[in-house]
Copies of this chain bind each other. A is one copy, B any other.
């Protein structure tokens, strides 16, 4: 059985679902991961309109595409964050409201509960998203960071997300956290701390996206081996480090695509992320879900890139052997 390769719709959310599905099918994808924004999956409508799930399914079915995962990267970010003007620009007005930070966080929390319910209605078993963090910016260590302030940040995360996960449990849906700098967990050590803070709840796992580890100079396959049983979903996105002693790993407040950055996202297969070793590791730890292409490259046309990515991954998603290659080393007479 070959691995399923899906396309995340987030970077195509300006297209109608129909248009997006037609393209994805045409490029050869097996399924999609639908974003809960733009023209795509509308969570409030999913809850209030009993026919909506079927309408969306019909579109995907017509294109021959599966979908078991939906994504809420925008709203979920606001659950624990210190809120500022960047959030206003990506949140729906009903979540932003008057922008008072705690109000925004509380409304985002409620919407995440609704998203769990929407996933269930739609027949998806996994919601992908972020957590936000009230303490990420402490990482640089100055002013000195007393241990209790870090503890407070994890407690804040645990309190807010425990309430959300109660809803996920109620609807039988899992949350796949995309760990990255900016979130409550961004590497093995902080992710473990987050898991511990939340008591190791089975409904809280990971959306493995290697690029966020890559620019931290972390070993992506080692991460897969360590967290194998907590990986609920995988994003295939690529990144390229351009560290030459002049370009900081912190990206110098420069936008994606600027060559002054020390690293950047690039189309799958155009970067340094060791996909073959990652996929072999996913095989080894028993991950059976899809490889979902999240397409981000500031120097390439998105349609050219998405079309090319599926073929690249297809070549690496080879079949497992049925027997050891040394099994025929014996000589009958």
Number of interface residues, chain A, beta carbon within 8 A: 109
Q: Is the CB of A298 within 8 A of B276?
A: no
Kindly identify which residue among B137, B140, B246, B255 contacts A147, using a CB–CB cutoff of 8 Å.
Answer: B255
**Distance, CA A187 to CA B261, complexed state (A):** 11
Q: Is the CB of B143 within 8 A of A328?
A: no
> Which residues on B sit within 8 Å (CB–CB) of A77?
142-143
Q: Is the CB of A181 within 8 A of B75?
A: no
Given A136-B140, A186-B248, A249-B249, 10 other A-B residues pairs in contact with their CB atoms under 8 A: A38-B328, A74-B143, A75-B331, A90-B143, A94-B333, A190-B252, A218-B246, A242-B277, A300-B318, A300-B321
Contact with B along A285-297 (1 / 0, CB 8 A): 0000000000111
**Distance, CA A42 to CA B186, complexed state (A):** 41
Contact residues, A126-180 vs B (CB, 8 A)? 130, 135-147, 149-150, 180
Q: Is the CB of A318 within 8 A of B301?
A: yes
> Which residues on B sit within 8 Å (CB–CB) of A260?
189
> Which residues on B sit within 8 Å (CB–CB) of A139?
250-253
Q: Is the CB of B299 within 8 A of A324?
A: no
Contact residues, A256-275 vs B (CB, 8 A)? 256-257, 259-260, 262, 265, 270
Q: Is the CB of A13 within 8 A of B301?
A: no
Q: Is the CB of A182 within 8 A of B249?
A: no
Residue A54 is within 8 A (CB to CB) of chain B in the complex: no
**Distance, CA A92 to CA B331, complexed state (A):** 5
Residue A49 is within 8 A (CB to CB) of chain B in the complex: no
> Which residues on B sit within 8 Å (CB–CB) of A322?
301
Q: Which residue of B lies closest to A86 (CB)?
A: B143
Kindly identify which residue among B42, B150, B330 contacts A90, using a CB–CB cutoff of 8 Å.
Answer: B330
Contact with B along A32-48 (1 / 0, CB 8 A): 00001110001010000
Q: Which residue of B lies closest to A299 (CB)?
A: B280
Kindly identify which residue among B13, B130, B141, B256 contacts A141, using a CB–CB cutoff of 8 Å.
Answer: B256
Beyond A251-B141, A301-B322, is A259–B246 a contact (Cβ under 8 Å)?
no
Q: Is the CB of A329 within 8 A of B216?
A: no
**Distance, CA A180 to CA B135, complexed state (A):** 19
Residue A107 is within 8 A (CB to CB) of chain B in the complex: no
CB distance from A333 to the nearest CB of B (A): 5
**Distance, CA A297 to CA B333, complexed state (A):** 27
**Distance, CA A291 to CA B326, complexed state (A):** 21
Residue A87 is within 8 A (CB to CB) of chain B in the complex: yes
Across the A-B interface, the 9 shortest Cβ-Cβ residue pairs: A219-B245, A137-B137, A37-B331, A301-B319, A86-B143, A187-B248, A13-B328, A189-B252, A92-B331
Beyond A37-B329, A182-B140, A331-B74, is A245–B244 a contact (Cβ under 8 Å)?
yes
Residue A58 is within 8 A (CB to CB) of chain B in the complex: no
Residue A281 is within 8 A (CB to CB) of chain B in the complex: yes
